[in-house]
């Protein structure tokens, strides 16, 4: 982990990205306070969605689109 101020980060951004891509964590600070953490992006292994899992759990009544009484004039 290396801490850089904003000016250094802007000046050496391409080099910082190369270091992040090699697995290093970079912290960018403003006035000495850490504000951003640069990390390599890790693709998540997410199982494909299965449709229909909530079938029958939601019921939409026939009067769903009717105007609400409190909004009638």
Look at the block and give the residue holding tokens 């912290």.
Answer: 27
Q: Structure tokens of 43?
A: 């693709």
CATH 3.10.20.30 is right for the domain spanning 2-38:
no
pLDDT on residue 1: 65
d(CA 4, CA 34): 9
Report the C-alpha gap between 39 and 21 in whole angstroms: 8
Tens-digit pLDDT profile for the chain (73 aa)? 677 789 999 999 999 999 999 989 999 999 888 999 999 988 777 788 888 888 889 889 999 999 888 887 7
| Residue 30: how many other CB atoms lie within 10 Å | 12
């Amino acid at each position: 982990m290396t801490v850089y101020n904003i000016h250094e980060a802007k000046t050496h951004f391409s080099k910082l990205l190369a270091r992040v891509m090699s697995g290093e964590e970079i912290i960018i600070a403003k006035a000495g306070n850490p504000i951003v953490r640069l990390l390599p992006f890790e693709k998540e292994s997410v199982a494909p969605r299965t449709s229909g899992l909530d079938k029958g759990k939601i019921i939409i009544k026939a009067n769903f689109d009717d105007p609400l009484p409190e909004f009638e004039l």
